[in-house]
A and B are shown apart, each in its own frame.
Chain A
Amino acid sequence: MLNYDKSRFERIFRDSSNEREILVHNASFFQDTLKRFKKNKGAVVGLIVITIVLFFSLIGPFMNSYKYDQVMTEYEKLPPRIPIVEKLGILDGTIVETKTKARAKINPDYERIVKEYVVNGKEMVDVERNIYKEKGFDDVYFWFGTDTLGRDQWTRVWTGTRVSFYIAFLAVLIDMVIGITYGMISGYKGGRTDTIMQRVVEIIVGIPRLVIVTLLVLVLNPGLMSITLALILTGWIGMSRVVRSQVLKLKSFEFILASRTLGSSDSQIIIKDILPNIFGQVLVMSMFSVPSAIFYESFLAFIGLGLQPPMASLGVLISDGYKSIMVYPHMLLFPVVILALLMLTFNLLADGLRDALDPKMKEE
């Protein structure tokens, strides 16, 4: 037996004074999800970045007086220049060129040497040249510079970003409407309907998306229309498969049987019993299809099958900028950064949503 001092203990009886107050309320499913989502730093940052980019894509084109297709040849190929920021030495309207020392004639009004070095016995210099000063545009500011035709890159970039958001929205819509309907019918009806519908899916899956788009472009003209159609034709396959397998699983559960016994019609079972149970997965799945859709649009534009200039999309801008990558890297930089940022953040957001909606996956 343990030896202890009995006087240090005292017997108490149960009354309201020593009952612990319940501080934690029962969290609803939504609150729980929100809490888990907020813990995921990547996803929260992703959401913030997407919101900022969305904001600029809506407001950006109105922030200066230029139009996205306004050609101003006198301003062609200007590097970016932003007021205030230019005093820090970045985005100040300068480009750096490498020349041999003998050839370089420095005009001190707008040029200065930043680095001198020797390559293969030749004396080389890096010359920083302020194009705006050279051409006498003292009060002109192009925040992202201009392209080879003198169009304002800021306006074009944000106008192009709108296309990406349109595609993102479209991808989710197609998933939600076509994907869910198709998978639901196939899984719920079962039997012969299911077999036929699944054979159709297998055939569509067997054809690479690239081929479908290429053929569509042959028939229609390249542009937003053919991309939209291509997405409608192929974008819902993954979702329909997930929905079908979920429905197949849920169909055999007892609560569905109970619901049917109580006299629910098929549509009631689908809307009230099945849909809420697969909603989380559907949401996550549709978020994952967004980055790949955005990528596809830009990819098509890049190889010349997507939107055509003077229309602007991130892919069009990258394709234009790539032609002068060696001389004017700024034309490529901004659209590439925004495209990569969008794809990265949508991926992070989808990851975060998945972990938040399905905590089991994470706790493994």
Chain B
Amino acid sequence: MTKYILKRLGMAALTLLVILFILFLLLEFMPGSPFNDEKLSPDQIANLNALYGLDKSPVIRFLIFVKNVVLHQDFGISFVIKKNAAISDMISSRIGITIKIGLQAILIGTVTGIVLGVIAGIKRNTIFDTLTTIIAVLGVSIPSYVFALGLSYYFGYKMRLFPITFDIDDTVRSMVLPSIALSMFVIAQTARFMRMELIDIFKSDYIQLAESKGLSNLKVIIRHALRNAMIPVITVLGPLLVGLMTGSLVVEKIFGIPGIGSLLIQAIQVNDFNVVIAIAFIYSFLYIFVNLLVDLLYGIIDPRIRVQGGGTNA
């Protein structure tokens, strides 16, 4: 087990380092210099370069870059969006709302998805099953931003139940529509997965054993089937996070939410490289972290996985 954990940790660290390296390369080769004021004389520029350590060799600069990012969460300053503002401050004031909406979407999505999946799995080939399948197919096929647009048009504009754009004075109601729009994808994925798992489990020997021992249906479902079906659902979390990330960009744009997704879009549009790179790093970090967590959790819960080597040989 220790070996497995160490291997996964090492892989995650290596991936993170590769990302940092790519980001560093991009910063290096990006056109322009931070000191492009025409009034500066060559001497002054040399002084500034020395002050910020830009005269050192690339290897040392890379190490400094890694140290700043990893130890101090220091991504430098923004050049365009907010001149000379520290990017870490810009991000920390915005990341809260992005994570909050993401968590709400996961919560709404997994609970609804699991309930739908369980109903469909138990009542197979009934109207509930068909309905769940339809919801699952639609949820996977229709892009989250189409949902978001539809929701904002009908519930925001036509029925005026919720604010169309984000309202700082009424954050609770403002977050309803974005969370629902994001959760559709989650619902579809979990429902589909849960249904498949349950159907598999109902065919297994230990369920037959439990039934033949005379346990009530409810007990069989709750004590034996559900418990085992819940474990693999953890693995859906990784792909879900990707969906949430792309979804957050779009949903934040549509509803005008001041999160890091809309900051990224803005930064790309005005070419604020430092900000883009900082957010790219944060997204990658989140992604690697969650995937690591899922793998480790799964390894702990289900011993078969770590013997096979982390599910990579799937």
Contacts and interface: CB of A to CB of B under 8 A. Distances in A.
A91 interface: no
A344 B137 contact: yes
B246 A210 contact: yes
A185 interface: no
Interface in A288-342: 291, 295, 298-299, 302-305, 318, 322, 325-326, 329, 332, 336, 339-340
Given A219-B26, A245-B313, A344-B142, A208 B249 contact: no
B312 A198 contact: yes
A343 B141 CA distance: 5
Contacts of A344: 137-138, 141-142
A215 B15 contact: no
Interface stretch (A139-147, A164-172, A199-207, A270-278): A199-207
Contact of B283 (A211, A332, A351): A211
B283 A210 contact: yes
Contacts, number: 113
A295 B15 CA distance: 26
* Interface bin, chain A: 35 or more
Contacts of B114: none
Contact of A340 (B146, B203, B273): B146
Contact of B246 (A217, A299, A326): A299
Nearest to B310: A202
A329 B18 CA distance: 45
A203 B288 CA distance: 10
Interface stretch (B95-103, B169-177, B221-229, B261-269): B261-269
B6 interface: no
Interface string B178-200: 00000000000000000000011
B264 A214 contact: yes
Contact of B149 (A206, A245, A332): A332
B284 A303 contact: no
Contacts of A339: 143, 146
Contact of B140 (A198, A208, A302, A347): A347
Contacts of B145: 299, 302, 318
B4 interface: no
Interface in B212-239: none
A294 B291 CA distance: 25
Nearest to B15: A206
Given A325-B153, A336-B149, A208 B143 contact: no
Contacts of B141: 291, 340, 343-344, 347
Contact of B250 (A202, A299, A326, A347): A299
A219 B14 CA distance: 24
A218 B273 contact: yes
B287 A206 contact: yes
Contact of A208 (B12, B284, B313): B284
- Pick the most buried of B11, B137, B246: most chain A CB atoms within 10 A of its CB: B246
B276 A208 contact: no
B15 A207 contact: yes
B155 interface: no
A293 to B, nearest CB: 12
Contacts of A206: 11-12, 15-16, 18-19, 284, 287-288, 291
A207 B242 CA distance: 10
Contacts of A298: 143
A215 B149 CA distance: 27
B313 A217 contact: no
Interface of B: 11-12, 14-16, 18-19, 22-23, 26, 30, 137-138, 140-143, 145-146, 149, 152-153, 157, 199-200, 203, 242, 245-246, 249-250, 253-254, 264-265, 268-269, 273, 276, 280, 283-284, 287-288, 291, 312-314
21 contacts: A198-B312, A206-B11, A206-B12, A206-B15, A215-B23, A215-B26, A218-B30, A218-B276, A219-B26, A241-B314, A299-B145, A302-B250, A303-B250, A303-B253, A305-B268, A318-B145, A325-B149, A343-B141, A344-B142, A347-B140, A348-B137
Q: Which 3 residue pairs spanning A and B have beta carbons closest together? A: A206-B15, A344-B141, A343-B141
